[in-house]
Copies of this chain bind each other. A is one copy, B any other.
Amino acid sequence: MSNQTLLDRVRMQLEEHSHRLTPQREAIVNVLIANSEGHLSAEDVFLHTKELYPEIGLATVYRSLELLESLGVVHRLDYGDGQNRYEIRLGTQEEHYHHHLICKKCGNIGEFTDDLLEEIEKRIANETGFAVTDHCLRFFGLCKECQEQSDS
């Protein structure tokens, strides 16, 4: 999907709920698109967006990210380091299956794609009656590079 199409889709989703695609929000969405693999914190989004729209305030960034998340446009990620990260949802099926590999030493965040959770979710529904709508799977450990450093 092109960026323009994505922006139009965001505009439609906003207007459906009586919200507007303001220049600030457009700038934020563009930052998220440009960093769709970037795991940006709210502060990161703020700093990047300032380059496109220097007058923007941090509160606007938080409010926009919260709104966009409630619309399903943005995914909020929590790596357990005390701040949330934000990723634009590109609408592909795979993103549901993309998990994070967090290195305890260097803090680097890798990704891993897998659909094995499907089966677990089905079993949860059958065995407990809980209706799963989303999940968060994080693995902690040492990345390849940090292991090699430790070996030497």
A122 CB to closest chain B CB (Å) equals: 11
Complex-state Cα separation, A23 to B29, whole angstroms:
53
One of A14-22, A35-43, A51-59, A108-116 contacting the partner: A108-116
Complex-state Cα separation, A139 to B135, whole angstroms:
4
A131 CB to closest chain B CB (Å) equals: 5
Q: Which B residues lie within 8 Å of A124 (CB)?
A: 101, 112, 139
Bin chain A's interface residue count: 20 to 34
Q: Which B residues lie within 8 Å of A129 (CB)?
A: 143-144, 147
Q: Oligomeric state, in number of copies?
A: 2
A142 touches B135 (CB 8 A): no
Q: Which B residues lie within 8 Å of A114 (CB)?
A: 120, 123
A130 touches B141 (CB 8 A): yes
B130 touches A144 (CB 8 A): yes
Is A104 interfacial (CB-CB < 8 Å)?
Answer: yes
* Known contacts A78-B78, A110-B128, A112-B124; A140 and B134 CB within 8 A of each other: yes
Q: For residue A133, which residue of chain B has the nearest CB? A: B141
Q: Which B residues lie within 8 Å of A130 (CB)?
A: 101, 103, 110, 112, 139, 141-144
Residues of A within 8 A of B (CB): 78, 80, 101, 103-104, 110, 112, 114, 116, 119-121, 123-124, 127-144, 147
